[in-house]
Amino acid sequence: MYLNQKNFIFNVKDLSLLLVKDANERLSEKNQGKIPLNNSKLN
């Protein structure tokens, strides 16, 4: 039982890292489209 719980925790950790990485990539893609507009307003 202990080994199964340990593997489950590692799987959840790995999945969480993948989800965070994916979310960061999606947010950075959205922000890249907005950055030139924001920079042009500041100039």
In this predicted structure, what is the pLDDT of residue 27? 85
In this predicted structure, what is the pLDDT of residue 10? 93
| pLDDT over 80 (residue 6) | yes
Dihedral, 35, 39, 40, 43 alpha carbons, nearest 10: 180
In the chain, the largest separation of any two C-alpha atoms, in whole Å, equals: 62
| pLDDT over 90 (residue 16) | yes
Nearest alpha-carbon partner for 16 in 24, 27, 6, 5? 24
Structure confidence at residue 36 as a pLDDT band (50, 70, 90): low
Q: Where are the alpha helices (DSSP H) in 1-43?
A: 2-42
Structure confidence at residue 41 as a pLDDT band (50, 70, 90): very low
- The pTM of this model reads 0.56
Backbone torsions φ then ψ of 10, nearest 5 degrees: -65, -40
